[in-house]
């Protein structure tokens, strides 16, 4: 019964045609003149549903140029996107790993020889694509072999894309709360790299974290809004507790691209109350401030480690007493 009623309703709706409106506008005292045909053509309007179907009848979207979203992961990550094949097998190397193993030498583009080691992550996949290796194709122009592939992993053929077919590449998005992944993305978007260690190297110095390397590169040199906010709060004599709340809001709302540098600059302002309460010991004061920040972040489902901030040291009561006494 319900099926029959639903079918009848659908037939009635589909057979009624497009929506119509009838209206008349006339001056007061004017003789009424009814022309049903003219009213139909003048007063007919399209409903939202019919308008959408008419719009979709035109080509309003295109699949050109093709776009590739490039994966972004830190070393030894379990979330890297591996390179899959149609035969069911897959490589343990991600697109990022394949980028690190790009060919040596140079390639010809237009009238210029371009070295492979000058290509950024996005530009490499914008100009080249990977396919199953075939040694018989290496003699062709624009065909290259990867280098230094780990044992047990398949070698891929690197083919230069034709200029008439443009290709767009994008890095997977990342936020400061994702920690090192965010800073690695900033580095790879800025300059080429040959390995994860190379990405951590700036002017011959190997930094311990990607965050430190990105700061040394000056990637965030012009993005100091968070530091300005903290400096203004300090200048207006906000309490250390208020400063800690401000710092937490900057972190969880992704307004702070360099949390470590802000902590290093304002750590004493953030912990001055604990410093005064613990016999003028900066060590205990900063440690207690970090414990406070850790508790606040837990309320938002975050941790200090996610932002690359130092971990608090849990002192026993006797040790804390000795530090307060002899600091």
With vertex at residue 46, the alpha carbon angle to CA 40 and CA 52, rounded to the nearest 5 degrees, is 155
With pLDDT > 90 as the criterion, what percentage of the chain qualifies?
Answer: 28
Is the model's pLDDT at 135 over the cut of 80?
Answer: yes
Q: Tens digit of pLDDT for each residue in 76-121?
A: 776 665 555 555 555 678 889 899 999 988 888 878 888 999 999 9
Predicted TM-score (pTM) above 0.85: no
The whole-number pLDDT of residue 85 equals 56
Contacts 24+ apart (CB under 8 A), 92-95: 92/153, 93/149, 93/150, 93/153, 95/70, 95/71, 95/125
Q: Tens digit of pLDDT for each residue in 225-272?
A: 788 788 888 888 889 999 999 999 999 888 888 899 899 999 999 999
Q: What is the distance between the alpha carbons of residues 213 and 210, in angstroms, rounded to a whole number?
A: 5
With vertex at residue 214, the alpha carbon angle to CA 286 and CA 127, rounded to the nearest 5 degrees, is 155
Q: Are 308 and 260 within 8 A, CB to CB?
A: yes
Nearest Cα neighbor of 95 from 117, 72, 64 is 72
Mean pLDDT for the stretch of residues 58-64: 74
């Amino acid at each position: 019964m319900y099926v029959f009623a639903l079918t009848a309703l659908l037939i009635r709706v589909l057979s009624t045609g497009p929506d119509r409106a009838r209206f008349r506008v006339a001056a007061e005292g004017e003789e009424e003149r009814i022309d049903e045909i003219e009213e139909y053509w003048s007063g007919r309007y399209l409903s939202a549903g019919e308008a959408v179907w008419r719009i979709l009848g035109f080509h309003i979207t295109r699949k050109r140029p093709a776009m590739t979203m490039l994966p972004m992961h830190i070393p030894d990550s379990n979330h890297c996107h591996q390179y899959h094949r149609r035969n069911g097998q897959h490589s343990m190397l991600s697109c990022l790993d394949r980028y690190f193993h790009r060919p040596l030498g140079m390639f010809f583009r237009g009238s210029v020889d371009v070295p492979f080691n000058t290509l950024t992550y996005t530009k490499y996949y914008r100009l080249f694509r990977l396919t199953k290796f075939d040694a018989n194709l290496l003699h062709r122009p624009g065909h290259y072999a990867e280098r230094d592939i780990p044992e047990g992993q398949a070698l891929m053929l690197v083919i230069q894309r034709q200029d008439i077919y443009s290709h767009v590449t994008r890095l997977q998005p990342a936020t400061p709360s994702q920690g090192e992944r965010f800073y690695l993305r900033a580095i790879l978007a800025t300059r080429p790299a040959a390995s994860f260690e190379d990405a951590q190297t700036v002017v011959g110095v190997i930094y311990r974290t990607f965050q430190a390397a990105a700061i040394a590169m000056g990637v965030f040199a012009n993005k100091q809004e968070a530091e300005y906010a903290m400096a203004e709060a300090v200048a207006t004599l906000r309490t250390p507790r208020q400063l800690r709340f401000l710092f937490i809001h900057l972190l969880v709302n992704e307004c702070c691209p360099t949390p470590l540098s802000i902590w290093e600059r304002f750590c004493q302002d953030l912990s001055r109350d604990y410093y005064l309460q613990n016999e003028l010991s900066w060590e205990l004061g900063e440690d207690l401030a970090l414990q406070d920040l850790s508790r606040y972040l837990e309320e938002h489902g975050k941790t200090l480690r996610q932002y690359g901030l130092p971990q608090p040291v849990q002192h026993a009561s006797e040790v804390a007493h000795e530090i307060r006494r002899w600091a």
